[in-house]
Structure 1
Amino acid sequence: MTASSSSAMATPMLLFSCFCLLTGDMLFGFDTGSFGGILGNPGFVNQFGTFQPETHSYKINSLRTSLLSSLAFIGKFIGCFVAGPAIEKYGHRIVFYALSVISIIGVIIEITAADTGPGTGRLAQFIVGRIVVYVSIGLVEVNVTLTEYDFSRTYQSEIVPASFRGLVVVSLQLFLVAGGLVASGANKAYETETTGFGWKTITGVQLVFPVLIIVCTIFIPDSPRWLLSQDRDDDAIASLYQLRPKENGSSGKCEAELSEIRQSLHEVVHKAAWIDLIRGSNLRRTSIVMIFYFFQQATGQAFVSTYQTKFYQQNGFAEQAYTYPLASSVLGLIAVGMAMCFIDRLGRRYTLFMSYAFQALWMYVLAGIGGLSHQTPASQNSIVAAFMLYQLFYNAGGASIPYLLGAEIPNAAVREKTQSIGTAWNVIWAFVTNFVIPYLMERIHFGVGWVFGSVSLVALLYTFFFLPETKVSSLSAFSLPLFANTLLFFSKRAGHLRN
């Protein structure tokens, strides 16, 4: 398909359907970015911290920081785990409405978790609110951002033509970063607010996104693939008529595309059982998805998003602790622009090579320079630069491509289930990393860079040896790298692997 024909496929309804649901990623991005700043907000600290008699001030210790950041992922785990079956049964649109209502309820619980004075914060209530909000984030991760990020993005990946599926999917990371940029601006505006007004206002802004999702969902069609899985062929054709150019409908191309979908799914439109995730070639596919969902968290995502403000405050950059995240968010937008250019030109593998290689490099630079006994203005600037450059290259590939792989590698019969269990696995590691990072920052300081740099290096090696290139026209076809094929051959010969 030529560039001109590809652009012709981008109809107003297709663009609207993709755009309006990008607000789901902004919801995720805003929550992550805003909470990172709220943790250091004076008003929030005064209401939810513990009083320190020696300094006559309040402080949120490492345990409370870990609980506030990590326990929310219980909700995300629940949301991710139920999203796949819910989508299979009710469709994407119903799940959009549900996640929006859940998000609104959670935000209200958060805002009402403190009164007006210092020490009035009800920590348990705020954590419950965070958990409820993250149920909606989990639903977003699978329903909107899973092609987790998010959160390979199920709805978009099923409605867009294969020729620019990668571009549309990675654009979701753009809106996630944009949500973080809005959050960084809000945090900056209230960085000196010592009452609860500041953090409550920042939290309340989050209500905008679920309301937008509710309004937009009214006008978008169901996924043709989902309709086909429900034996609703007529509705699937009607949906394609809405999403594709008019001439496609009059010339019979919509019927041909529906036939191609059936063929690409190997005539399997009904969903398989959970046990099929580990049967035959599905075991290899499931393993790849879960490993990259692990890398999406374990290479340092939370360190540069949730904890960047705390990192700056604890390591001599307190005056710029709310300014540097703004700069990082702008760089993040540039990085996603890079990913959108590279993803369908270089492919998934080479883009990840670049991302993981530079993630490892800049984490090692941060750890090495930060560990120097004598810090100069130049070395401090280098630390900040390394931190920001890590975030730039993370957003250039490692942030979004694992989700794209989650849509392109699994077979259609188990795609939603693979995404659900893979994202739940991602959430487990998000919980682990969010819980341990405050302790790592307190005890080894810049040594955190050695940890996440080494994980990034492992991710680079795994990508080189085992990741297939999935830049193909079908959501189900892929080929393994030469090294992995060699291992597969000898494994078969040895009788250790069944396909």
Structure 2
Amino acid sequence: MATSPSAWSVVTPMLLFSCFCLLVGDMLFGYDTGSFGGILANPGFVRQFGVYHSLTDKYAIDSLHTSLLSSLAFIGKFVGCLVAGPAIEWFGHRAVFFGLSAVSFAGIIIEITAAGTDAGSGRFAQFIVGRIIVYISVGLVEVDVTTYQSEIVPAPFRGLVVVSLQLFLNAGSVIATGVNKAFSTRTDGLGWKAVTGIQFIFPVLIIFFTLFIPSSPRWLLSKDRDHEAITALRRIRPKDDGSDDKCAAEIQAIKEALQEQVHKAPWLDLVRGANLRRTALVIVYYFFQQTTGQAFVSTYQITFYKTNGYSDQAFTYPVINSCLSFLSVIPGMYLVDKLGRRYSLMITYFFQAFWIYLLAGLGGMNHKSATAKNTIVAAFMLYAFSYNMGGASIPYLLGSEIPNAAVREKTQALGTSWNVVWAFVTNFVIPYMINNIHFGVGWVFGSISVLAFIFTFLFLPETKGRALEEIDAIFAVPFNPFRPAEIHYTDAERRIGQLEGEKAAAVTSVSENIDNFTHQGQKDDF
């Protein structure tokens, strides 16, 4: 369903500001991820935190300490993701934005002050603690930003806005690449401290921007602060909406649609009724995000370049790859609302499988021609392009829009925590898999991509253009990919969809029966 001209009429400068300014939090994650490899290789960092080897007359950081620096940060992200859900429910998105900024400040300070005064005098354990704390803020960001966006953005634009987090994440990574290059030759401590200290910019911006954004109207409604919810909605809707009292009508419709579900529910409700299917979908797609080959491609490409005659381009090609990844998010932002979540994911998984199977096939050849090698280089880049078009970002969108309002934050928190677990597992096992079967790893991850394609076709209903409360009706009935579902919307749910700018008449794949839904939908959900 294309976005209609009437839908664009609800977009205001304050809505755009509220949606995009806080994505600097995702830039923090992208910057930290992109800069850390450069910090590990920075001569000044190695001199302060490494061990002197008399045979080589050089300082070096051994593989154990490198592994600890890389892996233990996941503990912080896991904690941040898991804590984010209850924290948002209790204190609201704005309070959590302020809180995660303070956590980020603390972590960065601990990292920088871990430096010693002489060679080999850096406090390694302190630096790890700092990274763990920084990653707590990263985990909080992932849940807070996506759930906030999904609750304030009108349905026709929700996909574009939430998926844009991947654009900002990649932008942070590209910035980190340039900063690393600028300080890569510094042999004193200033180089790595500067790269680390630049991260202060992101929490400062988050605090500044949060001062001006409204609270989520749906969160205010969950706290029985109806008048404040209307006021907050008026700040992000066109002025004529406020004067015509459409915002009050929308809040009332949301309250009617949610009924007893307007308040937050306990963790156990994630697996009750229709919520079980929704929770399972969120968890599965976060699993696919980490296990369809992206870690293999990012890990193995530099090794391939160095051992197959591309040594001079071993660090240039990954930069090109990062730029392509950044650009590929832009068409993905459009397609997710144009084609929908299902088709965008199916296209993504198809091409991910194609490129990674090509890598496995050509990479397994004993004698590779120049054409084969060049094709492998292209496949590395095209895989990253395909992955960033949808497989990387749509799971965040599904995690923020599929769950019922009563458990939205908790479901996203559980999903992102699960995502961290699989990120750790894949990053831990891939070096061993590469050492044993080399490009054969592609057959494993390509097959998971095929599985993801089939799973999406069979089990994921389409949610594009639907208000969050309308999605409750979609999950109140079984999904069958071979015939349109008979979805019964309440009058309140349909009014919300219309007030958010999308006309219900534009949807031709469903049949509406308002009279029968109210009791049946609640029975199915709880």
Q: Same fold (TM over 0.5)?
A: yes
2:147–2:408: 8 Å Cα contact kept in structure 1? Answer: no
Give the secondary-structure state (helix, strand or coil) at the position aligned to 2:463.
Answer: coil
1:370–1:383: 8 Å Cα contact kept in structure 2? Answer: yes
Which of 280, 298, 301 in structure 1 is aligned with 2:291?
Answer: 298
1:318: how far off? Answer: 4.5
Which of 297, 304, 319 in structure 2 is aligned with 1:326?
Answer: 319
Structure 1 residues 316, 453: closer, same or farther in 2, change over 3 A? farther
Instruction: Using the aligned pairs only, state the percent identity.
Output: 64
Structure 1 residues 126, 375: closer, same or farther in 2, change over 3 A? farther
Give the secondary-structure state (helix, strand or coil) at the position aligned to 2:403.
Answer: coil
Residues 363-388 of structure 1: CA distance to partner in whole angstroms, max 9, x if unpaired? 22223333333345443333322211
The answer to whether residue 198 in structure 2 is matched with residue 205 in structure 1 is: yes
1:297: how far off? Answer: 1.4
The equivalent residue for 2:282 is: 289
Structure 1 residues 297, 438: closer, same or farther in 2, change over 3 A? same
The answer to whether residue 449 in structure 2 is matched with residue 456 in structure 1 is: yes
Structure 1 residues 359, 197: closer, same or farther in 2, change over 3 A? farther
2:359–2:379: 8 Å Cα contact kept in structure 1? Answer: yes
The equivalent residue for 2:27 is: 26
Give the secondary-structure state (helix, strand or coil) at the position aligned to 2:338.
Answer: coil
2:143–2:412: 8 Å Cα contact kept in structure 1? Answer: yes
The answer to whether residue 88 in structure 2 is matched with residue 87 in structure 1 is: yes
1:62–1:438: 8 Å Cα contact kept in structure 2? Answer: no
The aligned amino acid for 1:386 is A
1:430: how far off? Answer: 1.5
The aligned amino acid for 2:139 is G
Structure 1 residues 314, 241: closer, same or farther in 2, change over 3 A? farther
Taking the TM superposition and a 5 Å limit, the aligned residue runs for 1:218-297 are 218-297=211-290
The equivalent residue for 1:489 is: none
Which of 454, 477, 480 in structure 2 is aligned with 1:482?
Answer: 480
Mapped partners of 1:36, 1:369: distance in 2: 28
The aligned amino acid for 1:432 is V
Give the secondary-structure state (helix, strand or coil) at the position aligned to 1:198.
Answer: helix
Residues 325-383 of structure 1: CA distance to partner in whole angstroms, max 9, x if unpaired? 32122211221111112101111111111111111222222233333333454433333
Aligned length: 481
1:36–1:308: 8 Å Cα contact kept in structure 2? Answer: no
1:279: how far off? Answer: 1.1
The equivalent residue for 1:346 is: 339
1:316: how far off? Answer: 5.9
Residues 462-487 of structure 1: CA distance to partner in whole angstroms, max 9, x if unpaired? 1122222121412233355425999x
Q: Which moved more, 1:250-259 or 1:198-207?
A: 198-207
Give the secondary-structure state (helix, strand or coil) at the position aligned to 1:113.
Answer: coil
Mapped partners of 1:307, 1:72: distance in 2: 22
Mapped partners of 2:220, 2:35: distance in 1: 37
Which of 405, 409, 413 in structure 1 is aligned with 2:406?
Answer: 413
Structure 1 residues 54, 373: closer, same or farther in 2, change over 3 A? farther
Which of 358, 378, 386 in structure 2 is aligned with 1:393?
Answer: 386
2:101–2:203: 8 Å Cα contact kept in structure 1? Answer: yes
The equivalent residue for 1:168 is: 161
Structure 1 residues 57, 159: closer, same or farther in 2, change over 3 A? same
Residues 208-240 of structure 1: CA distance to partner in whole angstroms, max 9, x if unpaired? 111100111111110000000000001001101
The aligned amino acid for 2:273 is G
The equivalent residue for 2:181 is: 188
1:28: how far off? Answer: 1.3
Mapped partners of 1:259, 1:418: distance in 2: 25
Taking the TM superposition and a 5 Å limit, the aligned residue runs for 1:299-318 are 299-304=292-297, 317-318=310-311
The aligned amino acid for 1:482 is N
Mapped partners of 1:421, 1:332: distance in 2: 27
1:65–1:438: 8 Å Cα contact kept in structure 2? Answer: no
1:14: how far off? Answer: 0.8
1:398: how far off? Answer: 0.4
Larger radius of gyration: 2
Taking the TM superposition and a 5 Å limit, the aligned residue runs for 1:149-164 are 153-164=146-157
1:188–1:323: 8 Å Cα contact kept in structure 2? Answer: no
Q: Which moved more, 1:303-312 or 1:231-240?
A: 303-312
1:85: how far off? Answer: 0.6
The aligned amino acid for 1:64 is H
Give the secondary-structure state (helix, strand or coil) at the position aligned to 1:78.
Answer: helix
1:193: how far off? Answer: 4.0
The equivalent residue for 2:520 is: none
Structure 1 residues 401, 175: closer, same or farther in 2, change over 3 A? same
Taking the TM superposition and a 5 Å limit, the aligned residue runs for 1:9-88 are 9-51=10-52, 55-88=56-89
The answer to whether residue 124 in structure 2 is matched with residue 139 in structure 1 is: no
Mapped partners of 1:446, 1:61: distance in 2: 26
Which of 422, 443, 455 in structure 2 is aligned with 1:429?
Answer: 422
Give the secondary-structure state (helix, strand or coil) at the position aligned to 1:435.
Answer: helix
Mapped partners of 1:12, 1:70: distance in 2: 40
Which blocks of at least 5 consecutive residues in structure 2 are unaligned? 485-523
Structure 1 residues 398, 232: closer, same or farther in 2, change over 3 A? same
The equivalent residue for 1:363 is: 356
Mapped partners of 1:134, 1:311: distance in 2: 30
The equivalent residue for 1:150 is: none
Mapped partners of 1:189, 1:306: distance in 2: 23
1:37–1:309: 8 Å Cα contact kept in structure 2? Answer: no
Mapped partners of 2:311, 2:111: distance in 1: 26
2:163–2:396: 8 Å Cα contact kept in structure 1? Answer: no
Mapped partners of 1:234, 1:46: distance in 2: 59
1:436: how far off? Answer: 2.6
The aligned amino acid for 2:131 is R
Structure 1 residues 400, 266: closer, same or farther in 2, change over 3 A? farther
The aligned amino acid for 2:170 is V
Mapped partners of 2:110, 2:355: distance in 1: 39
Q: Which moved more, 1:8-17 or 1:444-453?
A: 444-453
Mapped partners of 1:316, 1:439: distance in 2: 24
Mapped partners of 1:97, 1:129: distance in 2: 19
1:407: how far off? Answer: 1.8
Mapped partners of 2:189, 2:434: distance in 1: 27
Structure 1 residues 223, 192: closer, same or farther in 2, change over 3 A? same
RMSD of the TM alignment (CA)? 2.7
TM-score if structure 1 supplies the norm length?
Answer: 0.89
Structure 1 residues 72, 101: closer, same or farther in 2, change over 3 A? same
Structure 1 residues 406, 52: closer, same or farther in 2, change over 3 A? same
1:371–1:447: 8 Å Cα contact kept in structure 2? Answer: yes
The aligned amino acid for 2:164 is S
Mapped partners of 2:415, 2:328: distance in 1: 25
Q: Which moved more, 1:127-136 or 1:468-477?
A: 468-477
